Amino acid sequence: MDVDVANLWSGAWLGRCRLTVCGDLLVSARRRNAMDGSADLEIPGVVFAGLRDAHVHLGLVDAGALFAGGLAVVHDLGSPPSVLAPFADPAVRAGLPEVSFAGQFLTAPGGYPTDRPWAAAESVRVVDGPQAAASAVDTQVRAGASFVKIMLNSAAGPVFDDATLGALVGAAHADGIPVVAHAEGRGQAARAFEAGVERLAHTPWTERVPDELLAAMASSMRWISTLDIHGRGSEFDVATDNLRRFRACGGVVMYGTDQGNGPQTVGLNPREFDALLDAGLDRVAVLESITVPWPPGTSTRLAWAPGGPPTDARLWVSWLASTRNLQPAQIREQFA
């Protein structure tokens, strides 16, 4: 089936485009040209690649609600294996986001979040020294993890010594997967960077990252935003300043909300979009932070927002937050 869309976003605004869909698979997407005949169907508004939240906890929030709220792809950064296992079964994926996950929280003995009531015991793996690092990482990889998450929260308890931290990062890299770090407390973001961690699970908020260090981080790290979890106050201000300078240095920002952490909109969070704009990202940069590239022949998820993008930035936020998932197989019934 050929489908014409009024506007397509795929790393840039492409304008009127033609999609070729077969069943639940997007076969191709390209700019429409004068030689194209009539399409089987026309879709008004804007079609996007599926939208992603790079920091959720499926043990604390309903996956179906995330999908209904506009998220086609989520990265789970710490949940029990029993929660994550069903997402490997194609039979249960309908109406749910595509899930990549880190598996268990890897933490030092007595470290965060071992004492938190929201952290189920099976969601935490204690690593008591360098000799235990490879086994802890391999357990996550065998369970299907796409990355591992290490906890460096010195504000809440003990953290890994340098040898154990290095062993964990080395084991993950030996298995070909990146490392995500929860870095909280003075000096912990720097330790993560120096150890070779690729992503920070949160924009640093407990200290102002020095300019020289921040510029170095921008060359090799990605930061997941999670600005809205701080509300609006001193921690939010520190995080926003860090993210603004990180982005100005060319750092890559990934939209993430820490879904399951406190009261917030389930699905797309307009307050996070507002915060990203306040941190100096323009609308194109926000779209880059949330959209997932979809090579033709591999995508099963699209997203759709009605009408064209408003010119007013705040109206644009609510418009983007209205985006809903669109599975190719359902296009005809929704727009016929």
**pLDDT more than 70, % of the chain:** 96
CA distances from 170 to 38, 51, 149, 220, 241 (A): 55, 31, 13, 16, 31
Closest CA to 119 of 71, 83, 162, 173: 83
> Element (H or E) spanning 309, and its range?
none
CA distances from 98 to 76, 86, 240, 301 (A): 10, 12, 29, 9
Residue type, 110: G
Using CA atoms, how far apart are residues 237 and 26, in angstroms rounded to an integer?
Answer: 41
Peptide bond before residue 113 is cis, with ω within 30 degrees of 0: yes
Cβ atoms 153, 142 nearer than 8 A: no
> Element (H or E) spanning 138, and its range?
helix 133-142
302 strand-pairing partners: 49, 326
CA distances from 278 to 236, 241, 283, 315, 316 (A): 11, 10, 11, 15, 14
pLDDT of residue 92: 66
Task: Please say if the pLDDT value at position 299 is more than 70.
Answer: no
Cβ atoms 41, 336 nearer than 8 A: yes
Give the domain ranges of the chain: 2-49+293-335, 52-290
Dump pLDDT digits (tens) for 18-42: 888 887 777 778 888 877 788 888 8
Architecture of domain 2-49+293-335: Roll (2.30)
Say which residue, 333 or 144, is predicted with more confidence: 144
Dump pLDDT digits (tens) for 284-297: 999 999 987 665 44
Task: For residue 330, give the DSSP letter.
Answer: G
What mean pLDDT value characterizes the chain? 91
Using CA atoms, how far apart are residues 11 and 73, in angstroms rounded to an integer?
Answer: 17
Of 70-79, 92-101, 225-234, 274-283, give the lowest mean pLDDT range. Answer: 92-101
Given the candidates 1.20.120.1200, 3.90.226.10, 3.90.1170.40, 3.20.20.140, the CATH classification of the domain at 52-290 is 3.20.20.140
Task: Sheet with 199-200: list strands edge to edge.
Answer: 124-126, 105-107, 148-153, 179-184, 199-200, 222-224, 252-254
Closest CA to 158 of 126, 111, 115: 111
Across the range 43-65, mean pLDDT stands at 92
259 strand-pairing partners: 56
Task: Please say if the pLDDT value at position 10 is more than 90.
Answer: no
In this prediction the pTM is: 0.93
Say which residue, 101 or 36, is predicted with more confidence: 101
Dihedrals φ, ψ of 234, to 5°? -65, -40
Q: Which residues of 208-219 are buried (b: 16+ CB within 10 A; e: fewer)?
A: ebeeeebbbbbe
Using CA atoms, how far apart are residues 227 and 258, in angstroms rounded to an integer?
Answer: 9
Paired tokens of 68: 């209904």
